[in-house]
Amino acid sequence: MNLKAIGILYWREIRSALRDRTIVTNSILLPIFLYPLIIWLVYTGLTFVSGQNEGLKSRIMLKDFPPMHETLKREFERDESVVLVTSSDPAADVRTGTLDALVEFVPAQSTPATTNNFTTRITYDESRDASSQARLRVAQKISRYRESYLELQAVKLGISRAQYQNFWIDDRKISSGRGVGALMAVMLPLFFIIMLAVGSMHPAIDSTAGERENSTWETMMTVATSRANILVAKYLYVATMAFTAAFLNLFAMIFSMGTILGPLFGSNLSLRIPLQSAPVVLIGALLLALFVAGGMMILASFARTYKEGQAMTSPFYIALIIPVMFLQTPGLEFTTRIALIPVANVMMMIREAFQGIYHWRPIGITLGVETACVILALRVAMFVIQHEDFILGSYNGSFGKFVKERFFR
């Protein structure tokens, strides 16, 4: 292994890559701008739609309103999001959509203790957003009124809140100290693996099939260094581009989520990633980048043209994404069994690390499995590149044909 030669070859690849529009777009610009842009568009759209709903006035009919609760009625009248209407057949009007909600005040079964009690019945159409929104507004308003009314009555009787309410809910949110929100933990690893694949795909094709298409393979094969050095340099270049794409995307996502989603979710979304997760995330990502780069290169190296290269690497791209889909299963834990599944194991490891959770046994197994995958990919690549018929572009651009010719002829 000649490090100096590898360095010269590596920088030539990088220099060429940074001048290629496709590679720069896919490995640098796309990770930085595309997904943050998508997130921004989606949430801007959601905010717009939700704003449209909020801007709608709810048409509500109050029926049999109890006179002793005039204050509540006045609140309804003052509310600009509500229009009080009357109807001869309110239930039918709710069904046809000319009325959003019918609010009926039904007296309770009369007993000495419940003389002034009543039930509020809300009739609405769940299939219509405007009607659901009206129901929500009414329910919130009546709940708030009920709370303050009871408290006022209790005070009049000289009873404190603690005395008239035996128990109540007191929320205490502790998730923010844990780091990233659940949404982030699911989304980031998914985008991470997509970006690794996208970031490595074009460099892998460019450095193998691209060389063949441009007729530079033969030129490269006559330089005064071993084929192993050429392979390692190309491999490191592809892995670098994959790693760069994934991390640029990660930072862009964290930044964009913080600035775009933060205000939308308010205090419900915590965006901090624990600093102590960095070593686990970095090592996992590095191993994954090396593995993905190896796989992409092996497949792309049989292609004779850029188009063939894309066709060869696409199934691998899909195969990478499928294990990550399992991560979307709610309640999935990072067990030793999952640690044995390449790609999915690293994703689980990163997902948990983002949440500040570390299962050290599965982490150890994951690192072992991924290292083995990287070594295997390198061994296969070394085996392939030693065959001169591969250098000449035989096998019609097919890895399958190479295997058939070599092992089953």
Contact positions toward another protein, by CB under 8 A?
5, 8-9, 12, 15-16, 19-20, 214-216, 218-219, 221-226, 388-389, 391-392, 405
Minimum separation from the CB atom of position 275 to another protein (A): 39
Nearer to another protein, 136 or 221 (CB): 221
Minimum separation from the CB atom of position 223 to another protein (A): 5
Q: Which residue has the tokens 């129901």?
A: 135
Nearer to another protein, 123 or 207 (CB): 207
- Residue-wise burial string across 306-330, b where 16 or more C-beta atoms lie within 10 A, e elsewhere: bebbbebbeebbeebeebbeebeee
Q: What is the token pair recorded at 18? A: 């940074």
Nearer to another protein, 20 or 79 (CB): 20
Minimum separation from the CB atom of position 5 to another protein (A): 6
Q: Which residue has the tokens 């000319």?
A: 98
Nearer to another protein, 169 or 224 (CB): 224
Nearer to another protein, 15 or 156 (CB): 15
Minimum separation from the CB atom of position 2 to another protein (A): 9
Nearer to another protein, 75 or 405 (CB): 405
The CB-side HSE value for 204 (13 A sphere, CA atoms) comes to 33
How far, CA to CA in Å, does 256 sit from each of 37, 151, 275? 8, 44, 19
Minimum separation from the CB atom of position 19 to another protein (A): 4
Nearer to another protein, 207 or 240 (CB): 207
Minimum separation from the CB atom of position 12 to another protein (A): 5
Q: State the SS3 of the chain.
A: CCHHHHHHHHHHHHHHHCCCHHHHHHHHHHHHHHHHHHHHHHHHHHHHHHHHHHHCCEEEEEECCCHHHHHHHHHHHHCCCEEECCCCCHHHHHHHCCCCEEEEEEECCCCHHHCCCEEEEEEECCCCHHHHHHHHHHHHHHHHHHHHHHHHHHHHCCCCHHHHCCCCCCCCCCHHHHCCCHHHHHHHHHHHHHHHHHHHHHHHHHHCHHHHHCCCHHHHHCCCCCHHHHHHHHHHHHHHHHHHHHHHHHHHHHHHHHHHHHHHHHHHCCCCCCHHHHHHHHHHHHHHHHHHHHHHHHHHCCCCCHHHHHHHHHHHHHHHHHHHHHHHCCCCCCCHHHHCCCCHHHHHHHHHHHCCCCCHHHHHHHHHHHHHHHHHHHHHHHHHHCCHHHHCCCHHHCHHHHHHHHHCC
The residues, any chain, with a CB within 8 Å of residue 357's CB and separated by 6 or more, are: 334
Nearer to another protein, 215 or 267 (CB): 215
Nearer to another protein, 16 or 310 (CB): 16
Minimum separation from the CB atom of position 287 to another protein (A): 29
Minimum separation from the CB atom of position 197 to another protein (A): 24
Nearer to another protein, 91 or 223 (CB): 223
d(CA 33, CA 125): 41
Minimum separation from the CB atom of position 226 to another protein (A): 6
Nearer to another protein, 179 or 397 (CB): 397
Minimum separation from the CB atom of position 236 to another protein (A): 15
Minimum separation from the CB atom of position 22 to another protein (A): 11
